[in-house]
Structure 1
């Protein structure tokens, strides 16, 4: 991550963390908005590129390829979760293949029982919007 990107992420209120035992820095930075957070991961090894995730209650990851931290943080600050869902729907073509939006909306088998958490955070109307955009 270059210094300019790091400065921008810090200005958005995003912070990194370290493993309490090993003290190794996590590859991502995040900002919490209560029931959801925005996480930017600079590493490409797990997802094939850098990614930005809308994380619901720390267990459902709606992942977009690339750095969308600025836009998602602005949406979260202005409108809350609705702004983030709107942004995710508008950019669904950039969803990472490992994003959990298909499971979380019931399009594919919900192996990890993500639908309940998703319903509790974004509601059925937004689940339907994501599912429609994804198909």
Structure 2
């Protein structure tokens, strides 16, 4: 199977774990890898976003969601260059962003009723927010 569209490798899967929903305490369907102030989430269910997705999640509240399985590349970027590597990868693949991704709100280009823009600046910095906005121009 094509690694970019369907499944993750066993090695990559082993680096991810299931988490419990804070409210219900039930296991979530997605698998995650935690880092400082962000995590990478892989969801192989198509019912949530219409396809398999990989998300870069900032401070548990801002979701940059890419269609397809990008988890191996995202984990590699995080291990190599931290949040900067993940932002760089998201920008290069922004054309694959899911329609439900919050990167437009986070970059200040869409209505932001949840205050995601401020969190994004706090986690990745204004320069990266500007780069994300520029990538959508």
Residues 20 and 108 of structure 1, relative CA distance in 2, 3 Å threshold: closer
Cross-structure match for 2:41:
39
Structure 1 portions without partners, runs of 5+: none
Cross-structure match for 1:131:
133
| Aligned partner (choices 6, 10, 19) of residue 7 of structure 1 | 10
Aligned residues: 131
Cross-structure match for 1:94:
96
2: CA distance, partners of 1:48 / 1:68: 16
| Aligned partner (choices 66, 72, 76) of residue 78 of structure 2 | 76
CA RMSD of aligned residues (A): 1.8
Runs of 4 or more above 2 Å deviation = 8-11, 17-25
Residues 119 and 25 of structure 1, relative CA distance in 2, 3 Å threshold: same
TM-score, normalization by structure 2: 0.88
Cross-structure match for 2:54:
52
Structure 2 portions without partners, runs of 5+: 1-6
Residues 33 and 19 of structure 1, relative CA distance in 2, 3 Å threshold: closer
